[in-house]
Amino acid sequence: MFCFSPSLEHQDAAKNLQKLFSPSILSTGLNRSIQNLQRSFDSFIRFHPTPWPAPGLQLTPEIHYQSELWLPQAEINTAFQQFYRSSLNYQPIFASTPFADAASWADIIGHMPSLFFEDTINPATMLKRLQTDLELKKKFIFWSFMPQRYYGNNPNRYPDQTRFILNRLPNHEQKTGRLNFLDAACGDGIGTYLLAGELLKTGIAPNSFHIEGWTLDPLEAWSAAHASFPHDPCREASFRAIAQPVISSSADVSILFKQADLLKQPAASQTFDVIICNGLLGGPIINRLDEMHRIIKNMVAAIGTGGMLLAANCFHGGWKQKCPQEDLKALFKLNNLKVLEAGEGICGIKQGWNYLSSSSP
């Protein structure tokens, strides 16, 4: 399991990235796949009619057909999966990459930044460059696994939910001990920093709370901890505008980002007072009732008596398309949670009494 503490220092980010990236990506299997791709591409340029794939090209069924005929997507996927496996020190989540649901190589080229293929659309040439240019490799991998479409343009998607949480917290002058929060399925971590910022605004000192952000992808945990997006400088600048004030206030010691699989029962060092699981339950990634039930059960096991589990999903279209809100409420109740409306989503309170359950609704 990978685990990273927030730091904006370049040397800390570089040291932690070395834990994720393999020092070498030399692979006999990959080199054979590159040779096969080169032969397919030679046929592609010999027989594929114009227009050839290019960024911004209006793709037609015929373009997809011709691309797939001479340059099969399955062959391309095999080569790039080998590249990802040999580049990373963990099992990559291929479903996150643009290759997972692309209709053809033309489809991928149409959305890919030009710096990755320069003046050629040859996937074999691209992979050869990625093997030797380490900075380009880093940008390509982050572009592959952390596309902007996963995160939206509005970082504060659940303001009413946040107000609900803050209204139920005890007065910090009356609270003894530490408040423990979990941002489950935290993604790139922006919601984690927003929550920390709101806690600081209410007067809660950094040593009076602890927030963990859990995500399945180690790259997300790294980007969250270091507010760094090598493939997207504009996104990095806007992210740091939110993260830097939190880190500068000494709250960096109160935040931790971890790789964790919510479908399993992740090891937790303590129970949590509040668990937030936004943008996951009922969306395109987790929408089967058995999987949602398993995650909710695992989260309930990590909540202290009287603690809260909150879920909202207005990012992926959420339960409005994949899972009706009533079904999610039923799963909460099945796990002995008292269900309340909570801003953009719902809240389940673990039965029992403590300072959270006795606070004002």
pLDDT digits (tens, 9 = 90+) for 92-135: 999 889 998 899 999 999 888 888 887 789 999 999 999 889 99
> 300, 338 in Cβ contact below 8 A?
no
Retrieve residue 252's tokens: 């960096």
Beta bridge partners of 210: 180
Global pTM reads 0.89
% the chain with pLDDT above 90? 63
Q: Helix 123-132 to helix 73-87 angle, to the nearest 10 degrees?
A: 0
135's CB contacts (< 8 A; 6+ apart) are none
246's CB contacts (< 8 A; 6+ apart) are 6, 193, 196, 197, 200, 252, 255
For 212-244, how does the pLDDT look when each residue is reduced to its tens digit (9 = 90+)? 999 999 999 999 999 999 999 999 999 999 999
Q: Check residue 178 and report its DSSP letter.
A: -
Q: Which domains does the chain have, with CATH numbers?
A: 22-145 (no CATH), 159-350 (3.40.50.150)
| Number of neighbours of residue 77 by Cβ within 10 angstroms | 16
Retrieve residue 94's tokens: 């291929």
Dist. CA 338–CA 187, nearest whole Å: 27
Helix or strand or coil: residue 88? strand
